[in-house]
Structure 1
Amino acid sequence: MKKITFLIVLLSGFWAVAQEDAWVYFTDKPDAAHYMANPLEMLSQRALDRRTRQNIALDEKDVPISVSYINQVTASAGITVKAKSKWMNALHIRGTVEAIQNLENLTFVDHIQFANPTLNTAGRAMHQSQLANGNKNLETQVSFGYGTSANQIQMLKGNQLHQQDFTGNGKIIAVMDAGFPNVNTAQPFQRLITNNKILGGYDFVNRNTNFYTGGTHGTLVLATMGGYVENQLVGTGPDASYYLFITEDISDENPVEESYWVEAAEMADSLGVDIINTSLGYFIYNNPGYSYEYADMNGTTAFISRGADIAFSKGMICVVSAGNSGAGANPNISAPADAVNALAVGAVAPDSSYAGFSSIGPSFDGRVKPDIMAQGQQAVVSDTFGNIVTANGTSFSSPIISGMVACLWQAFPDKTNAEIIQLIKQSAHLYNTPNNQFGYGIPDFSRALANALDTPVFSENSFLVYPNPANSVVNLVIPESYEEVRIFIYNQLGQEIMNSKIKRENPVFSVENLQSGIYWYKIKAGNNYKTGKLAVK
């Protein structure tokens, strides 16, 4: 009986070793014409509006993968489909090497890429390393006790944006993480729940909608952006809205998590998300054959890094942790911090000095990384029980920045993602002399706000919007130097719902068709503009 048991265990181990992960890429999207003619079948109106504001055209990356292709791969012997990516026109699959290679006989398969490079043509040499348990996100040391979140906001001059009522309202942040237990019940998140700021989510690992579960890391991360306990914790984006996506499998370290992330980013895109926060990084996997080398941190090798750059091309901003390996054997940034257009965030201590664990740059191809820094040592967060605690890691410097990005973008909703990122970099204290530890340095969001005002604004005394609150007709007082202005009205999701030309001879517009609530207005005349809130009764 013992021999039989041993044989079963041995065979089970052999089967596990024999399984490989790979991506199978397809040649085309046969349904492209249909979807391009019917964009609302693949993207929400909010997503289309975001593209319009930034002059981003639809392309075949937006089109779903052919269902026929997916079904034929799924039906192939020995193949399990783990994830899919319309952006890459690829499936993440698992099976034996032979079963995976057999897929090349399908006429619509363009090529196959194994996660283990040694199985690919001209793959790199196998790592001479031992099996290791990668720990890509937590590396956090929590010490219970009350503290203040003021320092991590004031360091970035974020409080000055909050004082001007730029608190992230109308912007949506997707949080990719390991789980969000007790976000629906813990007191620091009740302000988000009460104000319907949690818009939804999904568990890509277990393929269900129960996202208030999983690892605790995401709960701590969300607290730095959306947490609120008066006189204890105020997140950097307290009035932003959030989607919560589980993409990290805490039971394993495998490249499939990169594919889960890309899937989640595609969903975020289709929902009209503005900002993605990723307090995750990928470098070492349990199977050393899947692990990366520093040479791979070039922005084009890792599946997740390529996905991050596509997300940027769709109009989103990806804010990512630089990594927590600064004091380790592999001190450089991890993926997707190496992505060309990702805003990679390193960590500093409360006194703005470099935090020794923060991963350093540059990217392997010599680009400045990390991009910027924020407090990641003794960051103030909430744990899953609602206790206000401190924690360490670039896991927290990244979302602290994400919340501030939402605030700045709220102030300038017509700016592109590239313009917002550049404003942030230019505001940083080392912008002219970046280095490998700090990148461009600690940003000053007050300076970014001022720099964005590169055209004069109407003086408070020369322009009036009344009555406010309004219930039918709104009157404008237009400066004498202008014969007409254009008014834009946005709802709290940032969607443009009115765009009208107003002449000084009849300076009124109607809000009778608007539901009661708070809206944003922007009035533009020539190169001048004014923004503000409009209440409709």
Structure 2
Amino acid sequence: MKRLFLLLVLCTTALYAQQDAWVYFSDKPDTDYYLAHPLEMLSQKALDRRAAHNVTLDDKDVPIHPDYLNSVAASSGITVMAKSKWLNAVHVRGEFADINALRDFSFVSSIEFADKTLNNRRGSGVTATAQRTVNKNLSVHANFNYGAAATQIEMLNGHLLHQNGFTGAGVTIAVLDAGFPGSDTSVLTERARQNGKLLGGYNFVEGSDNVYTGGNHGTMVLSTMAGYADGSFVGTAPDANYYLFVTESMTYENPVEESFWVAAAEQADSLGVDVINTSLGYFRFDNPSYDHTYEEINGQTAFITRGANVGFTRGMFLVTSAGNSAATSDPHISVPADAFNTLTLGAVDSSEEIAYFSSLGPSYDGRIKPDVVAMGLGVSVGSTDGSITSASGTSFSGPITAGLVACLWQALPQLSNADVLQKVKQSADRYNNPDNTFGYGVPDFWAAYQDISAVKDIAPNNKNLLLYPNPVNSVLTVVLPKESGAAEIVLFNNLGQVVLRETVSQSNPTVNLSGFSSGVYSYRLLSGNAAYTGKVIKN
């Protein structure tokens, strides 16, 4: 028995001779240049999203200095696996001595080995896996026949957002997952493809543009949001735009997948993505020395979690599945579900009873987790061939919710990601009595919309002012307070220049924006002695 144990130890040591580590750089010498030329690091759509929510640019948006990257990549025995501008770091693989030798570069500030025991040798920083009344007596704008997906959408009152015309249009969702085979041919995504809603993406695992490969997990996840087959199946955001990123390998479990996720989140940000769905989580790895401990589930330790925290500061909304480990020896949420401002999703069944597998909170630092729950047991999803099947996991309660976040944000685009996060929590049925199984409970997206639609006008002293639709395609309608006879509306572009000045009234409330370029515009409305300001998004 001892001989066998010794053999296993020796084999394990040889198997993991190659180490994974993150190398952090000391600075970004090109910061001033990039901040002066933002379109060289972010798309116009990303800049528009930042402007709409008053998110300023900073050095985290600046790419890694290429000389630093090239010097590390050219070092003996080193393979650069991934990079992160947000954390100013690269993920490398190599022998311990070769990685440790990178400390000799003056621009390397620190090195963090995935095997934490190696971080003390400086001289010689999880597996992916109360009832509300439903009001159906509303004017119908999108009266879908949800088919098999009815329960999972109606549980969250998402159908009421759809019926009022909020189906995710104009909002962009990034899906970070294991692969999307069949999504380029499936009947369930045909509507999205024909309408140009699948915008592309990248496969970080294979280093290619082919995202329609890998595991079918991402295919099923995507279907719960983008799927559409009238009478059979409808997703929660059938009119949203989607970027697809493969960050999860089907053949190994390694911390490099955390680095792939951060790289994908950064690319999503640069493309102007609004919502990121993550139906992945990490706790245990193939090399046990890389495993996370519960003490690390604290919102600030794991590389992926720190990336998620930065993503939120860029103005994006992050939805993350809690994990499926409640019935195991590691019952707690995985990373990045512990991130400070991600909406972490647990799972319930069709009767709103907790699913036996739904990972538990709290985070190690004592925060309520999960944040909310949605249907994740016996969920209807689409397969690679377009057929509808059933699946279970917080992997599906997450995207079901993410799609409705997109619909809510479409309805209320002037709200920040922090505003939306808080209001979704407040709408949940256990908000006044949360726990670490259900979190704040089952959210009610119609209640969230009704609660915050009163501030849609931006004018805190007059709740009768309304500008719609927002985003707008051509004609913007201004609904004035009843006591106002007329008002002047002034529109500004992102450079602060006046691009429109018109008078609107009760009898002539419309403004034609059909000739304007897509983007975010600020407005000032002058009515009598009152002034109102806000943002309008032109599609």
TM-score range, shorter chain: 0.7 to 0.9
Q: 1:55 deviation in Å?
A: 1.2
Equivalents in 1 of 2:403, 2:485: separation in Å? 37
Deviation track 1:84-110 (CA, whole Å, cap 9, x = no partner) reads 000000000000000011000001000
Match of 1:326 in 2: 326
Q: 1:484 deviation in Å?
A: 1.8
Q: 1:486 deviation in Å?
A: 3.5
Q: Are residues 1:158 and 2:158 paired?
A: yes
CA 1:149–1:76 in structure 2 vs 1: closer, same or farther (change >3 Å)?
A: same
Identity in percent: 50
SS at match of 2:281: coil
Deviation track 1:431-459 (CA, whole Å, cap 9, x = no partner) reads 11100100001000011001102348799
Q: 1:57 deviation in Å?
A: 1.1
CA 1:488–1:179 in structure 2 vs 1: closer, same or farther (change >3 Å)?
A: farther
Match of 2:484 in 1: 481
SS at match of 2:16: helix
Q: Could you list the runs of 4 or more consecutive aligned residues of structure 1 that deviate by over 3 angstroms after TM superposition?
A: 10-16, 454-459, 461-466, 473-480, 485-490, 496-502, 504-512, 519-535
CA contact (8 A) 1:225 1:237 kept: yes
Match of 1:112 in 2: 111
Q: 1:17 deviation in Å?
A: 2.2
CA 1:433–1:122 in structure 2 vs 1: closer, same or farther (change >3 Å)?
A: farther
Amino acid across the alignment from 1:395: S
Q: Are residues 1:264 and 2:272 paired?
A: no
Give the alignment's TM-score, normalised by structure 2.
0.85
Summarize the alignment of residues 416-495 of structure 1 with structure 2, pairs less than 5 Å apart: 416-455=416-455, 479-481=482-484, 483-486=486-489
SS at match of 2:110: strand
Q: 1:50 deviation in Å?
A: 1.1
CA contact (8 A) 2:175 2:244 kept: yes
Match of 2:227 in 1: 227
Match of 1:84 in 2: 83
CA 1:205–1:188 in structure 2 vs 1: closer, same or farther (change >3 Å)?
A: same
Q: 1:527 deviation in Å?
A: 8.3
Deviation track 1:326-371 (CA, whole Å, cap 9, x = no partner) reads 1111111000000111110000001111001000100001001000
Give the alignment's TM-score, normalised by structure 1.
0.85
CA 1:66–1:354 in structure 2 vs 1: closer, same or farther (change >3 Å)?
A: same
CA 1:487–1:408 in structure 2 vs 1: closer, same or farther (change >3 Å)?
A: farther
CA contact (8 A) 1:502 1:508 kept: no
Deviation track 1:119-153 (CA, whole Å, cap 9, x = no partner) reads 01299xxxxxxxxxx6422xxxxxxxx96111001
Equivalents in 2 of 1:527, 1:395: separation in Å? 46
Summarize the alignment of residues 33-432 of structure 1 with structure 2, pairs less than 5 Å apart: 33-121=32-120, 135-137=127-129, 148-432=148-432
Q: Are residues 1:513 and 2:515 paired?
A: yes
Deviation track 1:269-327 (CA, whole Å, cap 9, x = no partner) reads 00000000000000000100000111110011110001001000000011000000011
SS at match of 2:176: strand
CA contact (8 A) 1:147 1:380 kept: no
CA 1:499–1:409 in structure 2 vs 1: closer, same or farther (change >3 Å)?
A: farther
- Higher mean displacement: 114-123 or 474-483: 474-483
Equivalents in 2 of 1:206, 1:431: separation in Å? 43
Equivalents in 2 of 1:304, 1:194: separation in Å? 34
CA contact (8 A) 2:265 2:311 kept: yes
Equivalents in 2 of 1:465, 1:79: separation in Å? 55
Deviation track 1:405-427 (CA, whole Å, cap 9, x = no partner) reads 00000011111000000110000
Equivalents in 2 of 1:350, 1:28: separation in Å? 51
SS at match of 1:453: helix
Equivalents in 2 of 1:498, 1:153: separation in Å? 43
Amino acid across the alignment from 1:97: F
SS at match of 1:276: strand
CA 1:192–1:456 in structure 2 vs 1: closer, same or farther (change >3 Å)?
A: closer
Match of 1:130 in 2: none
Equivalents in 2 of 1:176, 1:25: separation in Å? 24
Q: 1:531 deviation in Å?
A: 11
CA contact (8 A) 1:147 1:390 kept: no
CA contact (8 A) 1:521 1:534 kept: no
Match of 1:28 in 2: 27
Deviation track 1:471-527 (CA, whole Å, cap 9, x = no partner) reads 9x988785552542537799xxxxx99974533489764446258x9x999996668
CA 1:149–1:530 in structure 2 vs 1: closer, same or farther (change >3 Å)?
A: farther
CA 1:301–1:109 in structure 2 vs 1: closer, same or farther (change >3 Å)?
A: same
Q: 1:232 deviation in Å?
A: 1.5
SS at match of 2:319: strand
Amino acid across the alignment from 1:136: A
Match of 2:136 in 1: none
CA contact (8 A) 1:36 1:63 kept: yes
CA contact (8 A) 1:147 1:388 kept: no
SS at match of 2:403: helix
Amino acid across the alignment from 2:128: K
SS at match of 1:286: coil
SS at match of 2:353: coil
RMSD: 3.5
Amino acid across the alignment from 2:44: Q
Structure 2's unaligned 5+ residue stretches are 1-8, 130-145
SS at match of 2:318: strand
Q: 1:385 deviation in Å?
A: 1.0
SS at match of 1:120: helix
Match of 2:17 in 1: 18
Equivalents in 1 of 2:84, 2:382: separation in Å? 34
CA contact (8 A) 1:522 1:531 kept: yes
CA contact (8 A) 2:223 2:382 kept: yes
Alignment length (residue pairs): 498
Equivalents in 2 of 1:226, 1:60: separation in Å? 34
CA 1:488–1:323 in structure 2 vs 1: closer, same or farther (change >3 Å)?
A: farther
Match of 2:4 in 1: none
CA contact (8 A) 2:16 2:287 kept: no
Q: 1:268 deviation in Å?
A: 0.3
Amino acid across the alignment from 2:515: N
SS at match of 2:454: coil
Equivalents in 2 of 1:85, 1:381: separation in Å? 33
CA contact (8 A) 1:333 1:359 kept: yes
Equivalents in 2 of 1:289, 1:358: separation in Å? 26
CA 1:430–1:507 in structure 2 vs 1: closer, same or farther (change >3 Å)?
A: closer
Amino acid across the alignment from 2:162: H
Q: 1:33 deviation in Å?
A: 1.0
